């Protein structure tokens, strides 16, 4: 079975999966895995950890097309990187601003010259998200009994047998 970066991914059930990761046009490497997990979100990471704890050799494929500005993200999926977590942090920052406005009503002496710095907030959110990405990576690496690898590439050649890919 051949899959390029332009085709859809489908679940593959077989005894072994051979992954050829093209690092450049000239060079590639091949590895054998019992399980190939597509996606490094919460579901993919849970699946990979469980399979590895049962003695299976696991690869986690996690790739996101860079945005127009070249933004990519780390392990954790949409929720951690661009969804739930950043949204909640920005939302909390907005609540803090409103709380400061209303604090005077409850007796707080607040300086009238309070300003918000968007770049500082954005940097704090990005830093927090990156710390979560790093935490996921460290957690996978600390589990020494795991035979688990994170593979990052834009294209993969998947082969369900030891022979040549079937087109």
Domains of the chain: 35-151 (3.50.50.60)
DSSP helix/strand/coil, 28? strand
Q: How many CA atoms lie within 13 A of 154 on its CB side?
A: 6
pLDDT score for 163: 56
Model confidence pTM above 0.85: no
Q: How far apart are CA 120 and CA 39, in angstroms?
A: 31
Q: What is the pLDDT of residue 91?
A: 97
Round the average pLDDT of the chain to a whole number and report it. Answer: 74
Report the DSSP pairing between strands 156-159 and 17-22.
antiparallel
Q: What pLDDT does 55 receive?
A: 83
For the segment 93-104, what is each residue's pLDDT rounded down to a tens digit? 999 999 998 998
Cα 121-63-76 angle, rounded to 5 deg = 50
Predicted local confidence at residue 159, as pLDDT: 60
pLDDT, position 165:
53
pLDDT of 48 higher than 50: yes
For residue 81, pLDDT over 60 is answered with yes
Q: How confident is the model at residue 13 (pLDDT cuts 50, 70, 90)?
A: very low
DSSP 35-62: EEEE--BHHHHHHHHHHHHTT-EEEEE-
């Amino acid at each position: 079975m051949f899959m390029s970066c332009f085709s859809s991914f489908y679940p593959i059930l077989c005894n072994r999966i051979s992954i050829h990761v093209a690092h450049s046009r000239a060079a590639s490497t091949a590895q054998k895995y019992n399980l190939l997990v597509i996606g490094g979100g919460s579901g993919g990471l849970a699946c990979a950890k469980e399979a590895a704890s049962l003695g299976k050799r696991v690869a986690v494929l996690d790739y996101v097309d860079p945005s127009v500005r070249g933004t990519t993200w780390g392990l954790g999926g949409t929720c951690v990187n661009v969804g739930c977590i950043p949204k909640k942090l920005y939302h909390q920052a907005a609540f803090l601003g409103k709380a400061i406005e209303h604090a005077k009503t409850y007796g707080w002496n607040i300086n009238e010259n309070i300003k918000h710095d968007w770049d500082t907030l954005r940097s704090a959110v990005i830093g927090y998200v990156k710390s979560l990405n790093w935490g996921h990576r460290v957690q996978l690496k600390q589990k020494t009994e795991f035979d688990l690898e994170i593979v990052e590439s834009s294209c993969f050649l998947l082969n369900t047998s030891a022979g040549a890919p079937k087109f």
